[in-house]
Structure 1
Amino acid sequence: MLCLFEALAKEGHGHKDQKIMKNLFTLCIIHQHPKILLGMKKRGLGAGRWNGFGGKVKEGEPIEEAVLRETKEEVGVIATGIERRGIINFEFNGNPEILEVHIFKADNFLGEPIESDEMKPQWFHTDEIPFGNMWSDDIYWMPLFLSGKKFKGKFLFGKSDVILEYRLKEVEEI
């Protein structure tokens, strides 16, 4: 995917003559059909929005361990039955950083979801997902996620989190 972003940089998408930095992140959505567990982000990037649980992968940390660590830190549970469902690269116009987010589904968990300093958990029926109060890209990939599909994609955001362009495709393997 890095080649895609290098090509975009040459096309003038905010990276011209800048070194591109890619940072790894995780996102875990606990899905117990017909409900999903989301958290209201209380601080930091995405504050005031509903989201899954996750965060930055530490240097040398396996991605699967990072998603378990972040879920435990943010909602107090140990995710079980995790499966990687997607990888999305997020780019912000004028910023040389690319966020590579590995999206996981957990079909169960150990413990009881609790509020943390960072997130306030709440269950939502899949017919009542609060897309209007989530990142604007979620409405594009969430249907693939909920239907059990695997996917890869890229979103380019402009000012005020407006999606300038995106590519999203279903894949057999992640």
Structure 2
Amino acid sequence: MIEATLCFPLRGDVEGDAKEVLLIEKRRGLGQGWYNGPGGKLEADETPRECAVRETREEVDLAVDPDDLERAAELTFVLDGETHTFCHVYVTETFEGQPRESPEARPEWVAIEEVPYDRMWEDDRLWLPGVLEGRTVRGEFAFEGGRPLDEAEFVGHDLEWDVPLSEEF
């Protein structure tokens, strides 16, 4: 099983309301050409928060303090009946720097009401709108058709909203 993270930096207007989310267009690897938040696989002896911070720095050159990450979702992806990936999802409104392109990602600030769900994983449209509204979610998403995951068929899901999320494990 793969353990991974996603991080969704948010920026707001003068009143502090989140109006935009930083998305990346993946330039290589799983999900190439699709949009998502910065993220990736945990390395050995790395906590999910450390992974989210590292991946956000590597992919878009934003500095995030691990204490400023808010847990937003725990997502389990099942492929052909077996757990394939467990993903820790975070949001943050506190970061330093300006997003920059990298070999892995092209960053783009997107208005929350204009998130390009048609250019994202099929499951994203089910959970990401709630996360961007400040809700928490625990979800399981089933895919069939063998590897790689981005070529498998999305066949079902189960979502639990507004749940307390485990701190880290």
Q: Give the Å deviation of 1:161.
A: 4.0
RMSD of aligned C-alpha atoms?
A: 1.4
The answer as to whether partners of 2:76 and 2:83 remain within 8 angstroms in 1 is no
Distance 1:51 1:112 in 2: 18
**2:67 is the counterpart of 1:75:** no
For 2:96, the equivalent position in structure 1 comes to 110
For 2:7, the equivalent position in structure 1 comes to 28
Distance 1:153 1:103 in 2: 11
The answer as to whether partners of 1:136 and 1:161 remain within 8 angstroms in 2 is no
For 1:138, the equivalent position in structure 2 comes to 124
Q: TM-score, normalised by structure 2?
A: 0.85
**2:89 is the counterpart of 1:89:** no
**2:157 is the counterpart of 1:163:** no
Number of matched pairs: 152
Q: Give the Å deviation of 1:79.
A: 2.3
Sequence identity percentage: 34
**2:105 is the counterpart of 1:126:** no
Q: Give the Å deviation of 1:109.
A: 1.3
Question: What do the CA deviations read for 1:90-119 (whole angstroms, capped 9, x no partner)?
Answer: 12226x452000000011211110000100
Distance 2:64 2:164 in 1: 22
1:39 to 9, 12, 24: 24
Question: 1:77/1:141 Cα in 2 relative to 1: closer, same or farther (>3 Å)?
Answer: same
Q: Give the Å deviation of 1:158.
A: 2.5
Distance 1:34 1:161 in 2: 33
Gaps of 5+ in 1: 1-21
Distance 1:65 1:140 in 2: 26
Q: Give the Å deviation of 1:128.
A: 0.7
- Report the residue type matching 1:30 in the other structure: P
- Report the residue type matching 1:138 in the other structure: D
- Give 3-state SS (helix, strand or coil) of 2:131's partner: helix
Distance 1:68 1:149 in 2: 21
Q: TM-score, normalised by structure 1?
A: 0.82
